[in-house]
Amino acid sequence: MEIVFQSHHATVPERVRQNASRALQRLGLRLTRPVSGVIRFEEDGRMRRVELELQARGQRLVAEGTGRYFGPALAAALAHLEAQLRRVGRMNIRRARRPVRT
């Protein structure tokens, strides 16, 4: 899976980039055929914003988190993305189940 980093008016520590990359790859494994991921970092005054985008076989999931620092903003965005992945997984299970005919 290809991961693209974008920084808008932000200086992002390398450790935060590595954590974001590892987490997005880990979450991408839960989707069938992950294609790409985009991690956007934005800084506006005191507020930091992290947006995660994950694309896989006809699906596009986007989550964002804000905070005073990039660490908590990244954690919030990852929590939102995990919630979306749980919802998508449940929807796929419902579609796969078929009524039993007697």
Task: Report the pLDDT value the prediction gives residue 57, as an integer from 0 to 100.
Answer: 83
Q: Where are the alpha helices (DSSP H) in 1-102?
A: 14-28, 70-96
Nearest to 32 by CA among 55, 63, 50: 55
17-75 confidence digits (pLDDT tens): 999 999 999 998 888 888 999 999 999 999 999 999 999 888 899 999 999 999 999 99
> Is the domain covering 2-96 a CATH 3.40.50.1580 domain?
no
Interatomic CA distance for residues 29 and 34, integer angstroms: 7
- Identify the DSSP state of 32: S
- The pTM assigned to this predicted structure is 0.83
